Amino acid sequence: MVIFYDYSDLEIDFDFSSYRKFYLLAFSSGVFVSALIKDKLPKLSLTVAANGNINLFDQNLGLDDFIVKLF
């Protein structure tokens, strides 16, 4: 199991070669980040997104501008 939790740097310094299958479970803003790094990951056997979406900063599909300004 590999857990990514720091999204300040989207570089992946991990050797996936010893894994036969790779499952991706993304939660909250991790769903958005996983869409950004998917080309850096090995072939995915299964992907699951929970409580998030790839359109995190979208007025209609993601966070409202009011919420974004709070951060």
pLDDT tens digit string along 9-65? 899 888 999 999 999 999 988 999 999 999 999 999 999 999 988 887 777 888 777
Task: Report the pLDDT value the prediction gives residue 56, as an integer from 0 to 100.
Answer: 79
Query: Do the beta carbons of residue 12 and residue 41 sit within 8 Å?
Result: yes
Given a cut of 80, is residue 67 above it in pLDDT? no
Whole-model pTM: value is 0.74
* H/E segment holding residue 23: strand 23-27
Domain ranges of the chain: 23-70
How distant, in Å, are the alpha carbons of 18, 19, 31, 55, 66 from that of 1?
12, 10, 17, 26, 36
Task: Report the pLDDT value the prediction gives residue 34, as an integer from 0 to 100.
Answer: 92
Structure tokens at 48: 């699951």
Task: Report the pLDDT value the prediction gives residue 2, as an integer from 0 to 100.
Answer: 80
Task: Report the pLDDT value the prediction gives residue 59, as an integer from 0 to 100.
Answer: 77
Query: Do the beta carbons of residue 36 and residue 30 sit within 8 Å?
Result: no
